[in-house]
Structure 1
Amino acid sequence: MSVLRIRGRALPTGDWLDLYADGDRWTTDPVRGAELVAEGWLLPGLVDAHTHPGVERPGQPLDDELLRTDLHRHVERGVTMVRAPGLAGDPPDWFGRDPDVPRAVHAGLWIAQHGQFIDGWGRRADLADLPRAAAAQAASSGWAKLIADWEPGDPPLPEAVLRDVVARVHAVGGRVAVHSQQAAGGAAAVAAGVDSVEHGMCLDPELLPEMAARGTALTPTLALITESLARVRQRPDGPRRRWYLAGATGHAALAAAAVEAGVVVLAGTDSRPHGRIADEVRALVGAGIRPHDALGAASWAARAYLGLPGLVPGAPADAVVYDADPRVDLAQLDRPRAVVLRGALVSAAQSTRAKLA
């Protein structure tokens, strides 16, 4: 089996790189007989940091066949790493490991208070037992996902409980992701020092400097939230409609302010069909975020947050190659020239080899 080779301008720096896949690691040491499979603009693999593959509708059990199909759609669009902050069941052994699916981390079932979240998906517990449940999940998978708030009028998780969750999860080497779409839940999550706030709708912008100082990431799932506005506006007036419209209409500005404040912003889709990471990047750019930073939220910055280096010697051999600089032409994200995962070419434009011949 020949050694794979790619070359071109590598982001985020734009420096020229000539890379060889030494198994599942990049090297810049030339390898005789290596096969040049693509050249162009190189990114260290895209990341969808908020995706729930393997189910068609909320509340359904995890479907292993659908899970693989969904993950393949991610790979086709250049996604070589996913974070699933909530899965509908225990994933199969091949999840995140097989050569045809992205690397992956997950948080198991969502953890919520009694009476909140989606039937069939939430692991519900008394407040006193939530920290233990979260620590057990994190010890198993590395992450725990808690529902800090749910419907308008529901009590949010108390800050003291979330502090205990964070302490116990960090003690076992794990990380805490928190769903929040209301001000009180977001404030409690930030004060408790969680590792990531998911959605963050209605989050007080005054909390952004504290998030930046603590290293708390924000995954705004911006495209999903802003795309829903037209639909929600057609609904009858009521407390839930007013809450959602108030948060969603200001969400783009919140995401842009988070980047400006130095918060780690992660790109996540939280939607079907899978493989829509380009839509989230474009939504971030539409919010006023520089294309460089929006793309970083879906690539090098997200990988660094999840513990993976970029296109450097010794790094995992993941990459996506484009014909032109995707920061200048965001449409490039819809048509990667080649996708390399674990040192193997897993997706390529039909013209790739002809162009390089």
Structure 2
Amino acid sequence: MVLRIRGYALPHGEFVDLYADGDRWTTDPVPNAELAAEGWLLPGLVDAHTHPGATSPGDPLDDGVLREDLLRHVDAGVTLIRSPGLAGDPPPWFGEDPDLPRAVHAGPWLAQHGQFFDGWGNRVDHAELPSVAAAQAARSGWAKIIADWGPEDAAVPVDVLKAAADAVHATGGRLAVHTQHSAGSTAAVAAGVDSVEHGMWLDSGLLPDMARQGIALTPTLSGFQGMLPGLRDRPDGPAKDWLLGGTEALGPLVAAAVEAGVRVLAGTDSHPHGLIADEIRALAGTGIRTHDALAAASWSAREFLGLGGLEPGAPADAVVYAEDPRTDLGQLAAPLAVILRGRRVRPHA
């Protein structure tokens, strides 16, 4: 059965009438196509920073947990995820199962010795980091480096990050970098990586350089904001100052990044999964346009990850809402239909 959707398609709000020709949209009418839904159409939501498959830091990848996490993403309208770090090599169905989101991943995290969660990722010497990152990117398209970790930890030197970025790019791959320190974010931007994850303590003066180089920012804002009450109750000290100050600065950083022309991506980071609407609301809460907050979790993120939107020839993903979500983010909780690979996956046909 060929599915059909029609309505006002974002980002432009133009009326479209689309048919799913397998896994591609077409405007060529198909007789007897089933009208799945009509209303306001988004090109499928994206969670660009999520780590499904392990319940707690250090746990091994569990296929059952992975499937449950991905189903929660689909329930929220997410049709594409990026996992910049996984607890293990994913099973062959990851990103391919017709009922679960499309997926790209960076394999295991790559960290310096003595940093990151025990049991997760690979600790790599600086001399080996470029070749290890390049080998991972050659396998999966992305690599992920933990540029810094705790408040007293040293960041990966800029020359090492630059060598890693160059090596990854030479394979045709891309490099994501976790950073929560000023030195780490400065090194990441100077190295020309592809995305800065979190970006806590990133100097706003670097934003024009990020925009010029096409470096995306994934602030995982809602996750940090959820920690604020507990952070404020902690005993005073350097660790509290670092984490609380950096978290409170993230919202203004997001607003400045959008104004500077940096591509901002929506990512939820950790358990529970399926909370992309929370991240969209958090981004909108920084004062940026709701249009731009939705872009970070839909058409802009899809473009960054190599997928089209609601046009002929693009992958047949969409989320349909009764009203314009730009004027009512409450619509995100009640999609009329989620279309993935040309099939209605939510609600079930």
Give the aligned partner of residue 93 of structure 1: 92
Deviation at 1:122?
Answer: 2.1
Aligned to 1:199: 198
Give the aligned partner of residue 345 of structure 1. Answer: 344
User: Which of 89-98 and 224-233 deviates more?
Assistant: 224-233
Q: Kindly report which structure 2 residues correspond to 1:253-268, keeping only aligned pairs within 5 A, or say none.
A: 253-268=252-267
Runs of at least 4 residues off by over 4 Å: none
The CA deviation string for residues 50-103 of structure 1, in whole angstroms up to 9 with x for no partner, is: 000011100000010110111011001110000000000000000000100100
d(CA) in 1 for partners of 2:92, 2:244: 41
**2:51 equivalent to 1:52:** yes
Tell me the residue number matched to 1:218: 217
Gaps of 5+ in 2: none
- Over residues 309-339 of structure 1, what are the superposed CA-to-partner deviations in whole Å (9 max), with x where a residue is unaligned? 1000000000000000000000001111100
In structure 2, the partner of 1:28 is: 27
Q: Give the residue type in structure 1 aligned to 2:91.
A: P
Map of 1:300 onto structure 2 = 299
How far, CA to CA, are the matches of 1:272 and 1:126 in structure 2?
30
Q: Name 1:77's counterpart in structure 2.
A: 76
Deviation at 1:348, TM superposition (A): 2.0
One-letter amino acid of the structure 2 residue matched with residue 97 of structure 1: E
Paired residue type of 2:57 = P
Aligned residue for 2:18? 19
| 1:124-147 Cα shifts (integer Å, max 9, x gaps) | 011100111100100000000000
Structure 2 Cα separation of the partners of residues 67 and 246 of structure 1: 33
One-letter identity of the residue aligned with 1:190: V
1:229 Cα deviation after fit: 1.0
What is the alpha-carbon distance in structure 2 between the residues aligned to residue 85 and residue 210 of structure 1?
22
Pair 1:138 & 2:141 matched: no
Shift of 1:271: 2.2
Question: Unpaired runs of 5+ in structure 1?
Answer: none
RMSD: 0.8
CA distance in structure 1 between the partners assigned to 2:203 and 2:59 by the alignment: 33
Q: Secondary structure at the match of 2:38?
A: strand
TM-score, normalised on structure 1? 0.97
SS at match of 1:254: helix
- Equivalents in 1 of 2:36, 2:124: separation in Å? 51
How far apart are the structure 2 equivalents of 1:257 and 1:313? Answer: 34
Q: For 1:7, what is the secondary structure of its paired residue?
A: strand
The C-alpha deviation readout for 1:257-284, integer Å capped at 9, x for no partner, is: 0000000000000121111000000001
Per-residue deviation, 1:227: 1.6
Tell me the amino acid that sits aligned with residue 112 of structure 1: A
Hey, what does 1:153 align to over in structure 2?
152
**Percent of residue pairs bearing the same amino acid type:** 68
